[in-house]
């Protein structure tokens, strides 16, 4: 790590709720004050300032903070010896991060952690308990704040206020009231045209192709061209109008003045991951803003959608076993399934389908693709279902399953005990705050609880790691071996087998005047 032991990395953070900027590209006054205070603190101790890391408009549990991650990388690479923050909560509000970094990795990296306001310093013996108390208080604060925010957002939704980050295509946020939508006429005119074309009998894919040929920006491109910085994580390849973008517009009640919100929710206040909400929990408010299409047009479009749904989705429709697995080797877009009038099924690049100028196109027949995957899979299946290999592993697999069950029980017991300890610590802290417990008794009891908690977490971590190793060893012996045996018995590929064994298939275009195709198969094992 070098001869110097006083290279300091100053970390500052400001969250959205306490942001106060004159311009969006300005450092907030709070960030400036943090930098000034911490710089003076470092200079007064003759520490060498290696770098200042500043995250503005990020929460304390957001692991995607760019400067936070740069700080961690520099610390791991031995570039800094001290991490200096205004308070521990500026570094993180997540108790797990405190244990993982401040009490775990930083000592291994030889990095000292110092926060000024709450006197946290990993070089001071006995200071660990106060850092853990601070972490618990921050965790409770986050949990309470999350519940309060949820209650406020639910109230806003029920009152017909729009709370999304970006207005739906065809609308913009009212400058006088950001929770109210007003028509965005250039995009609204495209929405009206989409409904009109659909009612006239044009298909969703055909409408998408027409708009692309006229170079009308799709919703994500339109928002970016208007300076909104929008990113569509579900869009693969070029930003184009596609079947599903037309479909989402046709079925969205926002265009008749209604808001249907709460269709998804966060898994936890510690993560940005979301999952769908049940339809019964959707929050619907009518006549909240000006419609861009009339109710008659809406009803005609919904009638047409129901009629086409019955025609296009017969019960006996064949299953596309390669659905979601095929990727164009040129543009990275998906390949869609097509059936000709002669009943020839093939797969074609969707980017080329909607705009041929964006990709020259990749195409492969189902017969050729199926045959190539069949040949490749047969070789893999024969290895996975080898009778000698199965016989040799029967006893060891039974032993491994018994061991795995013991590991799972140990993890469950440790998790339950950890929850009990955390509740006891919380109760202990509240008793101290209310004056029901002396400082000395609190310290003794809290240290005992903390030691128990650390043992529980070590048990959970170690047993979980062992379970992961067992799962890795079992790959190709349980589900994979059974599927391989089923395949060898039938000689047929099905969707379940494809999903189990294959992550994706990249298809490169065939050579001119040749039936050859180039595939790259990415297996899951």
| Rounded CA separation 26/56 (Å) | 10
What Cα–Cα distance (Å) separates residue 346 from each residue in 117, 241, 343, 366? 66, 22, 10, 5
Q: Which of 145, 146, 120 is nearest to 133 (CA)?
A: 120
What Cα–Cα distance (Å) separates residue 397 from each residue in 40, 233, 393, 472? 62, 40, 6, 13
Which element (helix H / strand E) includes 10? strand 7-14
Reduced to 3 states (helix: H, G, I; strand: E, B; else coil), residue 175 is coil
Ranges of residues in the chain whose predicted pLDDT is under 70? 1-4, 15-29, 60-61, 95, 125-150, 229-238, 265-274, 309-318, 341, 380-400, 433, 469-491, 510-516, 525
Q: What is the dihedral of CA 40, 44, 45, 49, to 10 degrees?
A: 40
Reduced to 3 states (helix: H, G, I; strand: E, B; else coil), residue 51 is strand
7-130: which CATH architecture? 3-Layer(aba) Sandwich (3.40)
| Rounded CA separation 107/101 (Å) | 8
Classify strands 112-115 and 120-121 as parallel, antiparallel or unpaired.
antiparallel
Cβ-in-10-Å burial (0-12, 13-18, 19+) of 227 comes to exposed
* Domain boundaries of the chain, sorted by first residue: 7-130, 159-312, 326-384+493-523, 394-485
Which element (helix H / strand E) includes 437? none
Specify the CATH number of the domain 159-312.
Answer: 3.90.1750.20
What is the per-residue pLDDT for 189? 95
What is the per-residue pLDDT for 24? 40
SS (H, E, C) 212-273: HHCCCCCHHHHHHHCCCCCCCCCCCCCCCCCHHHHHHHHCCHHHHCCEEECCEEECCCCCCC
| Rounded CA separation 226/47 (Å) | 46
Residues 226 and 174 sit within 8 Å (Cβ to Cβ): no
What is the per-residue pLDDT for 395? 44
How many Cβ atoms from other residues are within 10 Å of residue 315's Cβ?
A: 4
The conformation of residue 319, written as its DSSP 8-state character, comes to: P
Calculate helix-pair angle for 243-250, 204-213, nearest 10 degrees: 110
b/e sequence 329-346, b meaning 16+ C-beta within 10 Å: bbbebbbbeeeeeeeeeb
């Amino acid at each position: 790590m070098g001869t110097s032991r006083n290279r300091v990395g100053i970390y500052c953070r400001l969250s959205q709720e306490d942001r106060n900027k004159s311009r969006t590209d300005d450092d907030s006054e709070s960030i400036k004050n943090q930098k000034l205070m911490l710089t003076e603190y470092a200079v007064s101790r003759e520490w060498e300032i290696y770098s200042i890391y500043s995250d503005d408009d990020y929460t304390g549990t957001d692991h995607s903070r760019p400067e936070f991650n740069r700080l961690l990388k520099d610390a791991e690479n031995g570039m800094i010896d001290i991490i200096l923050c205004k308070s521990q909560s500026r570094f993180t509000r997540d108790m797990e991060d405190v244990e993982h970094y401040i009490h775990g990795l930083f000592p291994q990296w030889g990095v000292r952690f110092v926060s000024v306001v709450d006197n946290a310093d990993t070089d001071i013996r006995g200071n660990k308990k106060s850092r853990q108390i601070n972490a618990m208080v921050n965790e409770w604060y986050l949990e309470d704040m999350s519940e309060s925010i949820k209650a406020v957002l639910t109230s806003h939704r029920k009152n017909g206020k729009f709370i999304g980050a970006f207005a739906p295509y065809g609308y913009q946020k009212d400058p006088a009231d950001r929770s109210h939508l007003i028509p965005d006429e250039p995009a609204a005119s495209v929405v009206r045209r989409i409904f009109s074309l659909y009612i006239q009998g044009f298909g969703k894919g055909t409408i998408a192709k027409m708009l692309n040929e006229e170079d009308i920006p799709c919703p994500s491109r339109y928002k970016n061209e208007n300076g909104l910085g929008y990113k569509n994580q579900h869009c693969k390849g070029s930003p184009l109008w596609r079947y599903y973008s037309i479909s989402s517009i046709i079925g969205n009640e926002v265009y008749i003045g209604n808001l249907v919100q709460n269709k998804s929710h966060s898994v936890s206040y510690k993560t940005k991951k979301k999952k769908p909400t049940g339809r019964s929990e959707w929050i619907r408010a009518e006549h909240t803003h000006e419609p861009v299409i009339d109710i008659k047009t809406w009803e005609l479009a919904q009638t047409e959608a129901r009629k086409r749904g019955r025609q296009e989705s017969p019960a006996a429709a064949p299953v596309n076993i390669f659905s979601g697995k095929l990727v164009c080797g040129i543009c990275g877009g998906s390949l869609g399934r097509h059936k000709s009038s002669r009943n020839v099924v093939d797969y074609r690049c969707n980017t080329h389908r909607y705009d041929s100028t964006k990709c020259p196109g990749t195409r492969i027949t189902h017969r050729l693709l199926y045959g190539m995957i069949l040949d490749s899979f047969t070789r893999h299946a024969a290895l996975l279902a080898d009778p000698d290999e199965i016989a040799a592993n029967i006893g060891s697999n039974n032993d491994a399953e018994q061991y795995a069950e013991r590991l799972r029980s140990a993890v469950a017991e440790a998790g339950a005990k950890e929850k009990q300890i955390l509740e006891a610590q919380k109760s202990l802290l509240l008793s101290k705050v209310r004056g029901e417990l002396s400082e000395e008794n609190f310290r003794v009891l809290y240290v005992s609880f903390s030691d128990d908690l650390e043992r529980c977490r070590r048990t959970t971590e170690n047993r979980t790691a062992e379970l992961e190793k067992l799962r890795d060893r079992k790959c190709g012996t349980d589900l994979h071996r059974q599927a391989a045996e089923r395949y060898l018995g039938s000689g047929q590929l099905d969707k379940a087998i494809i999903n189990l064994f294959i992550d994706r298939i990249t298809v490169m275009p065939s050579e001119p005047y040749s039936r050859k195709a180039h595939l790259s198969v990415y297996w899951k094992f």
